Chain A
Amino acid sequence: MWFMQTWIEELLLENKMNERAFDNSHYNGDTAFRVRIRRFGALVGRLCANPTTVIGLIIIGLMMAMAIFAPWITEANVPDPYQMPRDWGAVRKPPGTPGFLLGTTNEGGDVFYGVVWGSRTSLQLSLYVVGSTMIIGTIIGSLAGLLGGWVDEFLMRLVDVFLSIPELIFALAIAAVLGPSFTNIIIALSMVIWVKYARIMRAQVLQVKQNEYVEAAKVIGDTKLNIYLKDILPNAVTPVTVQATLDMGNVVLIGATLSFIGLSEAGIAEWGVLVSEGQAGIASGRWWASTFPGMMIFLWALAFNLVGDGLRDALDPRTEGR
């Protein structure tokens, strides 16, 4: 990314400059690189000043660790690790049974395995969906906001059409048309969610481009692309970041809903599927097959919402740098 490049340039420059002596005694040895790191540190500091955010961060950290170290926590299923193992010799075992920490499902699937590998599926789901929609939404929103005129008119009417249908129902319809598979859930969610980012980004760009520093950059004679990348995008992207964090949780929630009603492959290690498969047993007292994956969904969504809220506060320009 372009700003990474500037940072690296500055880091190199810092080394070069440290070799020279300065004539000004007031100078306290700051460099652009150090100041930027400090600013980032201050942001992290503000983020961590809020206890609920810290709780969210810890939960996310644990979930991430679980996803990363899944093969070490429980042995991967062969041939497909994202498929639940089936041990027909140990069906409907309650939690605590040796070898099955959280019990087993009707088909003898280890719930613990589902919980652990499910975090990988969820992470994939949210990263793919949020990543792609954020990029698409940012590009389309920026185009609409920058170009204006009929481009804006056309893109925003398109967005309106998408927004007029409730998120869940729309995703459900797309997934149903595409056929039941986990990949199709990702596609369906991506098709539904990008509009939110486009909306936010357009509004932000419209607002930011009014600022006098954009005009100042024009007076300097900088190129349009540079003005967009240096002045408009960095100042417009904050709400998108916050929304993306919140969506990391929401996507898993909606994804689980879609899985729950059977729009992904049966037997996949996915929390929504597990809840769905286990719910029939709750009435007969086998609560564990649904409860543990359900809790994971809850924690995941909660954690990202906590962090998203904290991020919104920390990035609030009114608190920033004062």
Chain B
Amino acid sequence: MNSKKDNVGQPILSISEVTKHYPIREGALQRVVGHVRAVDGVSFDIFPGKTVGLVGESGCGKSTLGKVVSGLTDPTSGSVSYNFNNQLVSISNLEKNKFKNFRRNCQMVFQDSFASLNPRHLVCDIVGRPLKVYKEVSGYDLVEKVVSLLNQVGLGREHLYRYPHQFSGGQRQRISIARALALNPEIIILDEPTSALDVSVQAQILNLLNEIQKARNLAYLFVTHDLSVVRHMADSLVVMYLGKIAEAGETQAIFAKPYHPYTKALMDAKPSFDEGQNSKAKGLEGVVPDPARPPQGCRFHTRCSLATDKCGWEVDDVVRWLEDTPGMFESLTAVERKSEFSAVLSFSDESSAANLTQEMRSEKLPTSMRKALNQVKINEKNVQIEFEPVEEILLREKDGRHTACIIEPKN
């Protein structure tokens, strides 16, 4: 999906149409009642020596995607393909040897450096463990190899025989990086590697990561929620919202001019330090919808300030709106859905039903939602509502960027 023209050669890792659904089970028989769509059809490529930034808010599926890419969990559908000698092969059904090869070449650094280091192991055990697993070296040479790895991340021989809790957060993250480097991988997945660290230490770690990348031509998948960090680190950017890509493209281009309203909202919510005092931060209304029932059309339409009537307004939106309107939700007794876009709402009394119809035709309902309404019919206690059905909004390419939004970016 990455369409940078100057990219010679093949991607090292290709993610195509990856979905990851977690079943929701209920009751004594653990019947599956639905799926949480943590990742829902995501594709992008990672090229050697480049950094892909994966950003989004909590619950957007970025960490799940990181785990799928690293092979920790299998995707529900779609595939992650690794480049074996210029041939992209899906990692899900690999033979043992080849998977081992992938495993060695794709390492991971976790967010919580305390939780990701076994508290009962010494640093030399932790960093030397991958070497032991692949029987690279042993005995005295193992210790020397570990020391050289520690030196690469700015630690030394004196740290060999200490426990993780004897280090500060930044140092522990260095140990994690040393462990990831031990097998000389081609790609490292960095899952929020600096979000638990202080600014001054974060800068140290980011510099270290860059240094290592240059020296070893490593590819990074940098998963984070911090835009200023990703702006500094990533060559290309993938912005996720509710399991889907909202926007993807070159980092600088996206920061210069975000096409997707969500990307814009993310940037407006956290003005960078340079913008100075009293720069206005703009938050988003509402909450992230339940990923088990993602909105139709564009998943962001429920919170989007630019939403139009074509963005996928549906019955759930009316229910959500009712919930937030005092005095209305209480008298709602049933919602009988015919489709995602059409349903009959039953109320306990006729006046509420009348009230709703009135309010739905008034200014109180967001304009774009009102425009999308095909009909509102009142029948005693029941109100029938019908929206214009909308197809799912897919990623479209423009100027080498992919945006999942029907609104044309203004120039």
Residues of A within 8 A of B (CB): 13, 16-17, 20, 22, 24, 26-28, 30-32, 34-36, 39, 211-213, 215-223, 226, 230-231, 234-235, 317, 321-322
Contact = CB atoms under 8 A, between A and B. Distances in A.
A8 to B, nearest CB: 13
A218 B160 CA distance: 23
A72 to B, nearest CB: 41
Interface stretch (B31-39, B77-85, B107-115, B376-384): B107-115
B140 A17 contact: yes
Contacts of A235: 118-120
A216 B140 contact: no
B118 A220 contact: no
Interface residues of B, number: 41
Please classify the interface of chain A as helix (H, G, I), strand (E, B), loop, or mixed, using the class held by over half of its residues.
helix
B156 A215 contact: no
Contacts of B118: 213, 217, 230-231, 235
Contact of B112 (A17, A212, A221, A234): A212
B158 A27 contact: yes
B110 A215 contact: yes
A28 B161 CA distance: 10
B113 to A, nearest CB: 9
Contacts of B179: 216, 220
A35 B161 contact: yes
A221 B115 contact: no
B100 A216 contact: no
Interface string B87-129: 0000000000000100110111010100111111110110001
B166 to A, nearest CB: 8
Contacts of B139: 13, 16
A98 to B, nearest CB: 57
B165 A212 contact: no
B396 interface: no
Given A22-B157, A26-B156, A216-B110, A32 B122 contact: yes
A235 B70 CA distance: 25
Given A27-B158, A215-B110, A216-B179, A221 B133 contact: yes
A30 B161 contact: yes
23 contacts: A16-B139, A20-B140, A22-B157, A27-B157, A27-B158, A32-B122, A32-B161, A34-B161, A35-B122, A35-B161, A36-B122, A215-B116, A216-B117, A218-B72, A220-B133, A220-B183, A221-B133, A222-B133, A235-B118, A235-B119, A235-B120, A321-B119, A321-B166
A215 B72 contact: yes
B134 interface: yes
A213 B115 contact: yes
Interface string B122-147: 10110001100110000110010000
A24 B103 CA distance: 33
B165 A321 contact: yes
Contacts of B110: 212, 215-216
B161 A31 contact: yes
Contacts of A213: 115-119
Contacts of B122: 32, 35-36
Most chain A Cβ neighbours within 10 Å, of B118, B125, B157, B183: B118
B329 interface: no
Interface string B172-198: 000010010001000000000000000
B163 interface: yes
A17 to B, nearest CB: 6
A221 B100 contact: yes
Interface in B219-253: none
A212 B134 contact: no
A26 B70 contact: no
Nearest to B100: A221
